Amino acid sequence: MHKVVLNHPRQSGKNTVRPSRYPVVDAVRGTAIALMFVYHFMFDLHYYHVVEIDFNNDPFWLGLRTLIVSLFLGVMGVSLHLATMHGFKRQAFGQRLLKVAGCAVLVSVASYIMFPDSMIFFGILHFIATASVLGILFYRWFWVNLVLGAGLIILGLTFQHAWFDQPGWQWIGLMTHKPVTEDYVPLLPWFGVVLLGLFLGKWLFPRSTVVALDKTGAQSSQWHEKNRFSRLLVFGGKHSLPIYMLHQPMFLAILYLVFGK
C-alpha cells in the first residue's frame, strides 16, 4: 500500500491518478455523523422524558453541537474545493443541490408535524443548500476566504440588531435572540466556517494532488484500511445525507417501542 503523495501531474506516471474522493475527508465527516448520533439519541431520550438535559443552556451540549456543526460545515468547504478543483461541474452540482434542498423541505415538514410551535425553518440542510450556492462565488479564492471567513465568524458572534429579528431575515443570523426552532444554523457566523474550509481545502489539497495506485489499479489508502472502525467512519462520510435523513426516524421508532409515548 502507498501513502497519498503530492506531485505535479506531469511528474505522475501510470501508477498515479487524481482521486475522486479522499478517505480522510470522508472520515472527518463520518466523525461528525458519529457525534451527531450521540447528540440526537440523547435529545430523543430527553423527548421521551427518560433523561433531563437542558440542551439550550448546558455548556457541554452547546459545545458538542458547535463542534458537530463546525465539522460538518468545515468539511463542506473542503469538499466544495475538491468538487471544483478541476473545474465546476454544473450538472453534478445541480443534482446534489436538488437532493439537499428536497431533504431540507422534508425536514421542515416532519418537524412541523412533531413540533408545530418550533418547526425547523432554517436548519443545517437549509444552510448547506444556501451555502452551496453562495460558495460557488468563492471557490477560486484562497487568502480572501481565510480573511473573509474569519471576519464573518467574528461578525456573526459579536453583532446583533433587532432588524434581523423579523421572520423574513432570521435565516441570516445577527438576531438579538435565538428563534423558537428545533434546529437553527443561520448564514452568519456559519458561512465563515465554510469559507475557512475552502481555504483549508486549497491548502491541504492543491490542484496538483495525485494518489498512488496499488497493484490492482485501485486507489490505495493506507489510512482508511487500518481497521474496521476507520472504514466505518469513511462509509458514514460517503453516505452522510441518507444517514442524516434516516437516523432520527429510526431512533424515535426504537425508543417508541421501548418507552412508548
6 part of a folded domain? no
Q: How many domains does the chain fold into?
A: 1
Q: Is 138 helix (H, G, I), strand (E, B) or coil?
A: coil
Beta-bridge mates of residue 140: none
Mean pLDDT of 212-220: 43
29 part of a folded domain? yes
Q: What is the pLDDT of residue 208?
A: 58
DSSP 215: T
Supply the range of the domain harboring residue 141: 20-259
pLDDT, tens digit, 9 for 90 and up, residues 48-105: 889 999 998 999 999 999 999 999 999 999 999 999 888 888 898 999 999 999 999 9
Q: What is the pLDDT of residue 87?
A: 82
7 part of a folded domain? no
- 5 — phi, psi (to 5°)? -125, 155
5 part of a folded domain? no
4 part of a folded domain? no
75 part of a folded domain? yes
Q: Distance between CA atoms of 126 and 72, rounded to whole angstroms? A: 13
C-alpha cell, 97: 443541490
86 part of a folded domain? yes
Q: Is 221 helix (H, G, I), strand (E, B) or coil?
A: coil
Q: What is the pLDDT of residue 197?
A: 96
- Pairing, β 16-17 against β 209-212: antiparallel
102 part of a folded domain? yes
Mean pLDDT of 227-251: 91
When computed from its CA atoms, the radius of gyration of the chain, rounded to whole angstroms, is 20
C-alpha cell, 255: 425508543
What amino acid occupies position 219?
A: Q
pLDDT, tens digit, 9 for 90 and up, residues 106-161: 999 999 998 899 999 999 999 999 999 999 999 999 999 999 999 999 999 999 99
H or E segment at 210?
strand 209-212
